[in-house]
Amino acid sequence: AAAAAAAADGLGHVAESLGAQAEDWGAPSPRFTSKAPRPDPLAPPPPAPVEVDVGSNKEVERLTALLEEQRLKNYDQTRRVMELLEQLRDEQERADDFRSQLEMRDVDVIRLERRIEERQQVRKQSRPDIAELEPSLGRKILGMREDGCIPTPPPEPADKWSRELQEEEEAVQPEEEVIIYRGDRRSRTLRSSLENVTGVAYPTENKTHALNDQDLISCFRGIVPPTEDSGISRGSAPRGEGHEDQYSWILALSLPNPRDPVNQALRSHGISHHEAASIFDRCFKAEEVGGDKDVQKERHLQEKELFMNAFNHLPSAEGNPKLKRFAGIEPAASVFWMQLEEMGMSKDTDQEQIAHSFLELLRNTIVTKITMHCQLPVRTCATEDARSVLVLVTATPKDLLWEADRQGFPTELDVRMVDPASLEPCCPKSFYPLLDWYLRKAPYAPVQEVADAYAKVILSLMDADEEDLSRRSLEVAFWAKHEAKPEEVVLKESASGDVGKDGQPQTVEQVMKLAMHEKDHLYHSARKRAALQRAFVKYLELKAERGLNADPLELQDEANKFVGSKVLVNWHNAIGLEGVAYPYKAFRVEQYSGKQARPWEWKAYQCRARRADVVISTPFNGNERAKLLESIILRQLDLAQLTNLGLINSVFPLDGRDKIESTIPGHLGEPSLLHERWGMIDGSNIIRKVMHFIQGIFHPVPLEEAKDYYGERIAFYFALVELICWWLIIPGLTGIAVMTAHKLMPYDPRVEKAPRLRVGLDLMYATLIAVWSTVLQERWKRRQIGLALLWGQRGINKVEEPRPRFFGIQRRSPVTYEDGELHYPTRERLKSQILSLCVLCGLAGLEYQGTIYTGKLRGAWIENDWPFHERAQQGTALLEDLQMTVCSKLGYFLAWKLNERENLRTGTEYINGLIAKVVAHELWNRFHLYFYVAFLKANREGCVITDAEGTQNLVPPEEMYGRMCQEEVSTQVTMVLCVEFAKNALELIKPLVKTHFSNWFRPAPEVIAVDEARGVARMAHFCQDSMEKPEYGASLEVDGTFGDYLELMILLGHFTLFPLVFPLAPTMGFILLLVELRVDGFKLFELVRRPLPRSAEDIGNWFYVIMAISWTSMFTNVGLVVFTLGAFDEYFGDLPRWVYFVFLAGVLSLFKVFLQIVVPDVPHCVTIAEEHSDHVRAQIDKTYAEDVPHVQEKVHLAALDLTVDDANTGQWRDPAEFGISTTRIRKRLQAIRKRRKKKAHAAAAAAFVAGAGSGAAAANTVV
């Protein structure tokens, strides 16, 4: 407040003087000009009198020109002054806004103003008023010359190179001159000058820089300044935490090794000054120093200048002194090392960390910013094959806690701590706790068996530990409030216990008990009510036996198994949820580590520390730790942009122990469900592995574990596949019946009448598929909302930054008024979209022509009795499938390029555009053949029909009598689905074969960071093992789920669009998807690199693809019934076919619309659970009133480690910490030894051939 008020006073004084000067120059006075005139220290000196010879015309003309020039100069001065007045007015308005904000916050303004007045009095006594300052100081503020004129800014250079040289020249000028030429720095320099005049600091909350500019540029170059002995080792936490307080390594950044010969040959010509500056602008962000965005922009410019200063010290490229070396090592006798030796550096000891090339400068910059600006522990080491440099990054618990608090990260609460009553057994219909029901609310309460078992539970709770009682206070209160009081105990002589001697109710309580019927609260069946009571008694006995720490869910499962049915339910099951709706809450540090903190209210996970023998308890699971760490790094680095430019090979999270073992307290050391159902057992017995793989097909998908490890986006894909798979059972069984009827009742549609039963089955099956697809669509819509609730993804914020490849013109944001927003004109994008439409339509036309020619080839093959003409349909079907495969690859490539051309802004827009193009083309490519054969081919070319003797004949169009080519469509669909079976098998075999051959031909690493005897390895080995696996997806923007979703949509089209011509399609689809679940899980777990976890609220635009397929399937199945099969021709009258088509399609359309209207999108149970979660969160927030301030801690430069360690350095780590078994380590060692042996044999053979050749040459010489 003092700063704001004093700054406003100083601004007012300057404004008054400037306003007076503006009035003298003919400009209007600003609104805040003082009424009392002040002496104008900034007014220009009066012009000297000029003697004029009136009689001379030349003299008059000269004076006229002089006056015109003076008028123009005064006008320019007036314009400049008005611009400065506008800036001053903005500053004053900011101060006024700040003061009004303080008043709104009920701050004691009077006390603050008194302090401001006191400071101003002291300041006036110690320094003169602004009006008494010498004129030269005022001119310095405004950048005036001594003659009172404001210099005109120089013209903007046309080319970028000249503009950069001008910026470098301006950077070394004094700050008061920068205000004249640098528009970006003008307001801040003006503000600094005003602070110097008024003595008042501008009200910003700037943080202390982690490094000063000199140390920062030294770190960029790789010259770490000497530091005081703080006891912090290199590569440790910058704030001083030890290895026991750091998580094990979480993320790995793979950078190209600049000293590898392969990377040295990439850009041997070097890199220019402009390219380096552009890379820094696009890939790096400024250190967060607080204040407004102008301060951050200023800091970014400062860091860019420091980076370019370090870039200028790099050695020049070979043969081009204007460029700098991109990769490689500078020779020892070069000028570069001579300059460093003059600075005291040694090429023998400092060669490894000093930047020889741009790639090393980039690596030092990345490591410095992550360590000092993100304040994260970093270690750099080489891979075993020395092709890449690994930057390993981890965090301390404090880092992730503050990051989660900063972004309000949705974190799972421990439902046993915050809402234990929801886990206890309750009435299935009225939600009363069963304990309350059997002891108080039931007509026959209290039940003696329940009361006895409850007494045992109370005794066991009294023996619990005091710490457990304190933490589980809500659970203890739940059990304690039902303890019977002495006056409430009743005798059991009467059967009902609620009637008097005359058999009538005696009290109001007895009347209410009799009114509460059991059927309205429990089950209608008396048998189930009896089983419920027995199960609840068993539950209480187990609770008394195992104590307070027993899991209620496990006790309920055991009690239900005891009675043989699932009658015991909790609140979550009673409202209709699939599982327990664990409440999620935006994370707050004060609720986890403050004075009133209750950290046990958050669900706890156990993970290893960087020190191998220490375990850290954390509220974040594996994928949440990776997300939070990535978000910290993204505040300083644009990883997607670095990857896009090829400056980073890949970014991937390291596998953790939670991949193969459970990390939930109480279940530590137990095998994880992911490993049991998706992993492969160790050993070399192939039969056991195959049997284990087949058994895993019939196991449920571990969705919760997949979500916790791989992220919600991948878990949603598996949930969708599982739902479609099991929902295919009904149409699959119906399809078997329809297929049997087709085989038992064949007929020739040209001369025979279709059997009535077959027509009825076909009509019923087509209607079933249309209804089934609609119900499936609505079921998934509701299920994904339920899963989003269970996974804490409901209403997540989706604030996206522009894509790395997005380009455009800079403008001022119309929303936030910020400068520098990239904008791409909509008209240009529309042109690209029209081009995309034309190209894809042209490709679709070529595919259609190929289908027509293939159909003609099929007819000619059969009609001319060419060889193997009896297999003509199968052969041409394979030819069609080959065409589909080739066109699919071509269409995917074109869609990718066209989508890039559209220059979409965000990643979501990019994915949605790619989905629209790829899916539209794929659906046409895969299914236009069926449309053509089913509805058009008969009238144009005729059909191929097999007669009773098994001979295939080409029937001309005039003999088809309006019927369609049912047999050909059935053959095509059958062959394509068989090919899909084969592709599914290849999907499993292809990564295995590819990995095998790539490992076989990959050069054997020179270093093996493994201790085979102890079964341990170093970090370089674990990272090398991950990097040898293929990535899951094409890029950071398009992950592997895109291809999986696309394959699923194509299969769904085969199941729903034309199942009537091949009724076994849903049955084959069920088998396909059942195997697909196992194959995709095995591929994700064993064969590909772990992807970066991504949050998701639903499946995105893929749901609209399902809707489109659902609506299309309704019309295709109706068309097959009416046109292809002719079901309405014989038994439903003589109306035209299109009448029946419109009627049946209209009825089914009304049903779909009715179902979409009647069935709510959000299930009622989800609404109840969300309201209950809001209630639980509100109850938690009531108990916390303290805010923990985020105090800036000192960052120690001693933690910065710029050296690249050898692959065989570092701690020996247990392979289980990184999700790898010891057997797999030894198996990889055997493969490396085989590669080394192969390399040795090849070298020996080459030497032998060379020796033989030299011997033959010598013999020829002798001859």
Length of the chain: 1263
The confidence band for 38, taking pLDDT boundaries of 50, 70 and 90, is: very low
- Tens digits of residue pLDDT in 999-1040: 666 777 777 888 888 888 888 888 888 888 888 887 777 888
Whether the bond between 44 and the residue before it is cis, its omega within 30 degrees of 0, is no
Helices 57-104 and 2-24: crossing angle in degrees, nearest 10, is 160
Report how far residue 969's alpha carbon sits from residue 975's, in angstroms, rounded to the nearest whole number: 10
Report how far residue 925's alpha carbon sits from residue 239's, in angstroms, rounded to the nearest whole number: 59
* pLDDT at residue 465, as a whole number: 82
Q: Give the pLDDT mean for 181-187.
A: 33
Strands 251-256, 388-393: parallel, antiparallel or unpaired by DSSP? antiparallel
Mean of pLDDT over the chain = 78
Percent of the chain with pLDDT over 70: 77
- Tens digits of residue pLDDT in 445-497: 788 899 999 999 888 888 888 888 888 888 888 888 765 443 343 333 333 34
Q: Give the pLDDT mean for 277-292.
A: 86
DSSP output for 213-269: HHHHHHHHHT-PPP----SPPTTS-TT---GGGSBPP-EEEEEE-TTSHHHHTTSTT
- The residues near 282 (Cβ < 8 Å, ≥ 6 apart) are 638, 641, 645, 804
Please tell me which residue, 1071 or 24, carries the higher pLDDT value. 1071
Q: Which of 509-513, 615-619, 917-921 has the least mean pLDDT?
A: 509-513
Report how far residue 966's alpha carbon sits from residue 742's, in angstroms, rounded to the nearest whole number: 12
* pLDDT at residue 162, as a whole number: 40
Contact present, 772 and 1066 (Cβ < 8 Å): no
Q: Which of 591-600, 719-728, 1129-1138, 1253-1262 has the least mean pLDDT?
A: 1253-1262
Please tell me which residue, 40 or 457, carries the higher pLDDT value. 457
* pLDDT at residue 12, as a whole number: 54
The confidence band for 141, taking pLDDT boundaries of 50, 70 and 90, is: very low
Report how far residue 1125's alpha carbon sits from residue 587's, in angstroms, rounded to the nearest whole number: 61
Whether residue 192 is predicted with pLDDT greater than 80 in this model: the reply is no
The confidence band for 694, taking pLDDT boundaries of 50, 70 and 90, is: confident
* pLDDT at residue 1137, as a whole number: 85
Angle among Cα 688, 694, 699 to the nearest 5 degrees reads: 120
* pLDDT at residue 126, as a whole number: 43
- The alpha carbon of 1208 is separated from its chain's Cα centroid by a whole number of angstroms, namely 34
Q: Which of 22-36, 925-939, 1137-1151 has the least mean pLDDT?
A: 22-36
The confidence band for 507, taking pLDDT boundaries of 50, 70 and 90, is: low
**Minimal CA–CA distance to 1219: which of 1124, 1102, 1055, 1085?**
1085
* pLDDT at residue 1191, as a whole number: 65
Q: Give the pLDDT mean for 752-764.
A: 84
Q: Give the pLDDT mean for 139-163.
A: 40
Whether residue 651 is predicted with pLDDT greater than 90 in this model: the reply is yes
Q: Classify the C-alpha dihedral 271-275-276-279 as positive or negative.
A: negative
Q: Which of 53-57, 561-565, 580-584, 602-606 has the least mean pLDDT?
A: 53-57
**Minimal CA–CA distance to 514: which of 451, 445, 450, 447?**
445
Whether residue 1168 is predicted with pLDDT greater than 80 in this model: the reply is yes
* pLDDT at residue 848, as a whole number: 92
Contact present, 933 and 890 (Cβ < 8 Å): no
3-state secondary structure of 479: helix
- The alpha carbon of 284 is separated from its chain's Cα centroid by a whole number of angstroms, namely 20
* pLDDT at residue 1197, as a whole number: 86
* pLDDT at residue 351, as a whole number: 60
Report how far residue 495's alpha carbon sits from residue 304's, in angstroms, rounded to the nearest whole number: 88
Report how far residue 328's alpha carbon sits from residue 1203's, in angstroms, rounded to the nearest whole number: 16
Structure tokens belonging to residue 201 = 């600091």
- Tens digits of residue pLDDT in 1218-1227: 888 888 888 8
* pLDDT at residue 779, as a whole number: 93
* pLDDT at residue 9, as a whole number: 57
Contact present, 143 and 177 (Cβ < 8 Å): yes
According to the 3-state scheme, what is the secondary structure of 1063-1084? CCHHHHHHHHHHHHHHHHHHHH
- Output the CA torsion 1236→1237→1238→1240 (10° steps): 90
Report how far residue 1107's alpha carbon sits from residue 773's, in angstroms, rounded to the nearest whole number: 9
Percent of the chain with pLDDT over 90: 26
Q: Classify the C-alpha dihedral 1112-1118-1122-1124 as positive or negative.
A: positive
* pLDDT at residue 999, as a whole number: 66
* pLDDT at residue 59, as a whole number: 73
DSSP lists the bridge partners of residue 411 as 585
**Minimal CA–CA distance to 538: which of 421, 430, 434, 442?**
434
- The residues near 858 (Cβ < 8 Å, ≥ 6 apart) are 872, 873, 876, 944, 968
Structure tokens belonging to residue 328 = 């490689």
Whether residue 1177 is predicted with pLDDT greater than 80 in this model: the reply is yes
Q: Give the pLDDT mean for 760-787.
A: 91
* pLDDT at residue 1061, as a whole number: 83
Q: Give the pLDDT mean for 842-870.
A: 88
* pLDDT at residue 333, as a whole number: 66
Return phi, psi of residue 319, to 5°. Answer: 85, 0
Report how far residue 1141's alpha carbon sits from residue 937's, in angstroms, rounded to the nearest whole number: 19
Report how far residue 1154's alpha carbon sits from residue 757's, in angstroms, rounded to the nearest whole number: 30
Whether residue 178 is predicted with pLDDT greater than 60 in this model: the reply is no
The confidence band for 684, taking pLDDT boundaries of 50, 70 and 90, is: low
Whether residue 204 is predicted with pLDDT greater than 50 in this model: the reply is no
DSSP state of 1197: G
The confidence band for 42, taking pLDDT boundaries of 50, 70 and 90, is: very low
- Tens digits of residue pLDDT in 423-452: 999 999 889 999 988 888 887 778 889 999
Contact present, 910 and 802 (Cβ < 8 Å): no
Please tell me which residue, 156 or 480, carries the higher pLDDT value. 480
- Tens digits of residue pLDDT in 242-279: 888 899 999 999 999 888 888 777 777 889 999 999 99
Whether residue 157 is predicted with pLDDT greater than 80 in this model: the reply is no
Report how far residue 1200's alpha carbon sits from residue 1193's, in angstroms, rounded to the nearest whole number: 16
The confidence band for 222, taking pLDDT boundaries of 50, 70 and 90, is: confident
- Output the CA torsion 227→230→234→238 (10° steps): -100
- Tens digits of residue pLDDT in 967-993: 888 888 888 778 877 776 676 677 667
Structure tokens belonging to residue 999 = 């490992």
Helix, strand, coil shares, percent, the chain, to 5:
60, 5, 35
- Output the CA torsion 534→536→538→540 (10° steps): -150
